[in-house]
Amino acid sequence: MTGSAKPTEAQSRKAIYAATIGNVMEWYDFGVFGFLAGSLALNFFPKDDPRTSLLNTFLIFGVGLVFRPLGGIVIGRMGDTQGRKPALILTILLMAVGTVIIGVLPTYAAIGVWAPILLLLARLLQGFSTGGEWGGATAFMAEWSVEGKRGLYTSFQQMSVAGGSLLGVGLSALLTSTIGADAINEWGWRIPFLLGGLFGPIGLWLRREVDETPPYRESVAVGAAAEASTFGHAAQAFGFTVLWTVSFYVFLTYMPTYTRTQLHLTAAQSLWASTASLLALVVLVPLMGALSDRIGRKKLLLASCALCFVLPIPAFYVLTGGYGFASVVLIQIAFAFAISLFSGPGPAAIAEIFPTRGRSTWMSSSYALAVAIFGGFAPFISQWLIDTTGSKMAPTAYVMAAATVSFIIIAGMRETAHRPLR
């Protein structure tokens, strides 16, 4: 990047804050599906087999993420050819439409098998949107960051993911505590989805007000081409992402269902426990991002891998020991700390793998493919492992395997914290 392309501190902050707020709204829309999976199972599948209905709901959750790689390729390519800004405007429009569709869908009792089919189609639209959103937003934030603060500024991408999820689970917990679980299951589950649709115009307005990134404008001006080695970079980013996505979807998205069905917490308690862990994550992620600017990315990333290998067995042992709601909250906060060690430096580290002109396409597609394969199906795999083995400890094996894969990949990466973007 040449000196002319470097943004000022004021410009950088304005762009990062605007992108963060839009990202919160985007990930609220996407995440609320997982938090209300139990209610969706009751409304979109036959009620005579609750276990199968829940598995089918998680299957739709996972299949929806299969479209993320397609969205990553199509929208990511748009970000590299048309600019980061128009790509991010498109993602928030698609997400708002998909979310509203879910909120107004008729149930299985009204239209039979068409209900889960339409739910799947709406989820596919959401998945397509998030495929372009993650990489596009990460590239946007990385390219607007001032040198020496890229870890901090890009960590707002993951903070906004957690913030959107926090907004979704917090609203779900509040509604469940206010109107009761029965009302949520009957009609209240629609409220978070319909509210998500209202967020769309706000996010659209914010993103229209933000300028294109300086590195992208410069690369277009000089006619820079994507580097030929990006296939190798994409493979590296794919392995890098495995633990990141598995830990997020097991420890955060799946946990409300796990604590309710396996630990017999009330629906409200399950949601409040997850709210506490997401709040901790929102606070911790920028701290870890800033720390990575000082001590490097690799140390924190490898520490997260090690902790996610060591922590699950004793943590799940405590969870299944019947120690009550307080112990569940503390364990989930411990999970949030482990994730923050990755999510803080993670966006900067993965963005620094790629050159500017290929960054949006390759980062979006490689990240989305890893999420589709390993993360999106994490709730389904976790539930299937429990049902198959009969052990409430079964999900730990999945997390530990993911930690091993990512540790090996990250150990072989070079430190990029103090290098300029290419």
87-113 mean pLDDT: 89
Q: What is the pLDDT of residues 34-62, one digit of tens each?
A: 778 888 888 998 877 887 888 888 888 77
Q: How confident is the model at residue 413 (pLDDT cuts 50, 70, 90)?
A: very high
Q: How confident is the model at residue 322 (pLDDT cuts 50, 70, 90)?
A: confident
Q: What is the pLDDT of residues 148-157, one digit of tens each?
A: 889 999 999 8
Q: How confident is the model at residue 12 (pLDDT cuts 50, 70, 90)?
A: confident
Q: Are 45 and 57 in contact (CB under 8 A)?
A: yes
Q: How confident is the model at residue 289 (pLDDT cuts 50, 70, 90)?
A: very high
- What pLDDT, on the 0 to 100 scale, is given for residue 107? 92
- What pLDDT, on the 0 to 100 scale, is given for residue 400? 95
In the predicted model, is pLDDT for residue 312 greater than 90?
yes
**Which has the higher per-residue pLDDT, 241 or 64?**
241
- What pLDDT, on the 0 to 100 scale, is given for residue 377? 80
303-309 mean pLDDT: 96
In the predicted model, is pLDDT for residue 25 greater than 80?
no
340-351 mean pLDDT: 93
In the predicted model, is pLDDT for residue 411 greater than 50?
yes
- What pLDDT, on the 0 to 100 scale, is given for residue 52? 84
Pick from 176, 388, 249, 307: nearest CA to 258: 249
In the predicted model, is pLDDT for residue 343 greater than 60?
yes
CA of residue 403 relative to chain centroid, distance: 17
Q: Which of 10-24, 39-53, 89-103 has the lowest mean pLDDT?
A: 10-24
In the predicted model, is pLDDT for residue 287 greater than 90?
yes
Q: Which two tokens stand for residue 59?
A: 């299957």
In the predicted model, is pLDDT for residue 1 greater than 60?
no
- What pLDDT, on the 0 to 100 scale, is given for residue 228? 44
184-193 mean pLDDT: 90
In the predicted model, is pLDDT for residue 64 greater than 80?
no
- What pLDDT, on the 0 to 100 scale, is given for residue 223? 61
What are the chain's domains? 7-411 (1.20.1250.20)
Q: Are 143 and 352 in contact (CB under 8 A)?
A: no
- What pLDDT, on the 0 to 100 scale, is given for residue 257? 82
- What pLDDT, on the 0 to 100 scale, is given for residue 5? 54
Q: How confident is the model at residue 2 (pLDDT cuts 50, 70, 90)?
A: very low
394-406 mean pLDDT: 94
Q: Which of 6-20, 135-149, 224-238, 400-414 has the lowest mean pLDDT?
A: 224-238
- pTM for this structure? 0.78
In the predicted model, is pLDDT for residue 221 greater than 80?
no
- What pLDDT, on the 0 to 100 scale, is given for residue 222? 66
Q: Which of 217-231, 270-284, 354-368 has the lowest mean pLDDT?
A: 217-231
